[in-house]
Chains A and B, each alone.
Chain A
């Protein structure tokens, strides 16, 4: 079964794409609105072609209001997939929430491959609606989470959505979710630099993104994509807090020798950091238990507080707090 309409019964429909839009709807705020070939025959073609829809997104003031109670907004990015964005975002969330006074939220905007619910061990939860909006799913009292994963009838369902629909959902995540007062909102993103990233940057422009954390692995193929991500951040004006190099070195459990699984053939993240003037926040060694914890939905830093990877994580998180002046 394919979920293309998961949320029609849950709250208002995103304004960016009408529910009855044709499949290839370019989005009502696009330059092609009302003019693209897909628009032929659409009931809203005239409205779109008139240019009325190209004004600022009507959702923006609502997003601004909702985000006014969020103190810090942090985006976790990486051009490449599978480098540990979601794992890092989750650890960051857990680490912030370790202080009972700190209210933390995690928003998963990876619409096609949401991993956050599994990593946080809340994959079977559902989103509830109240008069103030959609309630996030709480891992603990001060750690709320929102992901498309909570909205699918089954985890096997593929979300086959084009950009405008994804943007609509992201805008809803920002304006319709009852985040409450938050000290930190961590946004976990999908790989690449496309609709999701542009939307986040655009929707949060007025409220301000406090910084981006770029996650990478040491090999050139991953660093290439990070370079693209750096240029993206600079283009749209997002402050880069720094780089995190994940899966950097592996200590054999048998002979305790450290080896490089993903060889930094071009000098790894530290060389990239020097070259681009972005700070290297730290390197996290590859520890198979990190992946295992993610699969089981438990917090690695709580389970293995003395491991070198935990120490690396904690140093990075301290540094992030310092950069944010907290």
Chain B
């Protein structure tokens, strides 16, 4: 099949790898994993350039997690300028529908065709520039956003891969199974499966409770022949870092505060190990 040139493929020609973070189920930590993945890739080399695109149009969480809630996107002659979350270094480019809303309570109530158009714009009209990695965070399900995304990215097939996130309970695993069927149908390589919210450490006595059961991710990965990247316990410190990051400072960001605070969490070390696994697996 000859790869056609499209506005999307032209724009993303200077992107080396595209990693799509998926999960059939909502609230399992896709955005948190996307954020961590982007941060770890960013920190993996002093020159690494990373982009993060949030295609969850009706529930964008990425701006909050990066602490850039309330920032705006500027128009340039060469397209929309993404929000650089690391300030002047400009190695971490971020784009989300959240930047286009006037206030945080505004809802985006869109049907499919409008979502499709927005996703095309995010891919074709944002001045991404040269990127080593573009991480794409998706909404739950296997519907308009996912189908559109994969269609627009089809000409870039050799660069595409995905990471699937789940939580251990059966209800989540069932939806994730659907998501795996989806990746097969659209021929999207899966780098591996991450089990999130696997156990919770009591801050008082250190006892580990499996609040959402345990072990389900490993079992599913084995059964489906997917690489199991590891499990992440619920880390309240991480929840706090990703939750309240936005209130700290706004336009004055000089360093990359979220990254520094993230590095202090217990999850960071674990996640870096997984990222090494992911990178080794990228073709």
Residues of chain A touching chain B, judged by Cβ–Cβ distance below 8 Å, are 1-2, 24, 26-27, 30, 32, 36, 79-83, 86, 110-113, 115, 118-119, 155-164, 166, 190-195, 197-198, 217, 219-222, 224-225, 227-232, 235-236, 250, 252-255, 257, 259-263, 265-266, 286, 288, 291-292, 294-295
Q: In the docked arrangement, what's the CA distance between A300 and B172, Å?
A: 18
Q: What are 30 A-B residue pairs whose CB atoms fall within 8 Å in the complex? A: A27-B111, A82-B27, A82-B167, A110-B141, A113-B24, A113-B178, A115-B175, A118-B170, A119-B171, A155-B177, A157-B178, A158-B142, A158-B181, A159-B142, A160-B142, A161-B143, A162-B112, A191-B140, A193-B59, A220-B243, A224-B59, A228-B106, A228-B108, A232-B109, A265-B244, A288-B211, A291-B169, A292-B213, A295-B170, A295-B171
Q: Is B250 an interface residue (CB 8 A)?
A: no
Given A112-B24, A224-B64, A261-B211, A198-B59 contact (CB < 8 Å): no
What string of 1s and 0s marks CB contacts (under 8 Å) between B48-71 and chain A? 000000001111010011000000
Q: Is B225 an interface residue (CB 8 A)?
A: no
Residues on B with C-beta less than 8 A from A257 are: 202, 204-205
Residues on B with C-beta less than 8 A from A163 are: 111-113, 143-144
What string of 1s and 0s marks CB contacts (under 8 Å) between B11-47 and chain A? 0000000000000111110010000000000000000
Q: In the docked arrangement, what's the CA distance between A217 and B27, Å?
A: 10
Across the interface, do A221 and B181 meet the contact criterion of CB distance under 8 Å? no
Q: In the docked arrangement, what's the CA distance between A110 and B171, Å?
A: 13
Q: In the docked arrangement, what's the CA distance between A156 and B112, Å?
A: 24
Q: In the complex, which of the residues B179, B181, B207, B243 has the most CB atoms of chain A within 10 Å of its own CB atom?
A: B243
What string of 1s and 0s marks CB contacts (under 8 Å) between B209-229 and chain A? 111110000000000000000
Considering only CB atoms, which chain A residue lies closest to B212 in the complex? A291
Across the interface, do B140 and A1 meet the contact criterion of CB distance under 8 Å? no
Given A231-B105, A254-B202, A263-B243, A158-B26 contact (CB < 8 Å): no
Across the interface, do B58 and A261 meet the contact criterion of CB distance under 8 Å? no
Residues on A with C-beta less than 8 A from B240 are: 263, 265
Across the interface, do B104 and A227 meet the contact criterion of CB distance under 8 Å? yes
* Total count of chain B residues near the partner, CB < 8 A: 65
Given A36-B113, A160-B185, A228-B200 contact (CB < 8 Å): no
Residues of chain B touching chain A, judged by Cβ–Cβ distance below 8 Å, are 24-28, 31, 56-59, 61, 64-65, 104-113, 115-116, 139-144, 146-147, 167, 169-172, 174-175, 177-182, 185, 200, 202-205, 207, 209-213, 234, 236, 239-240, 242-244
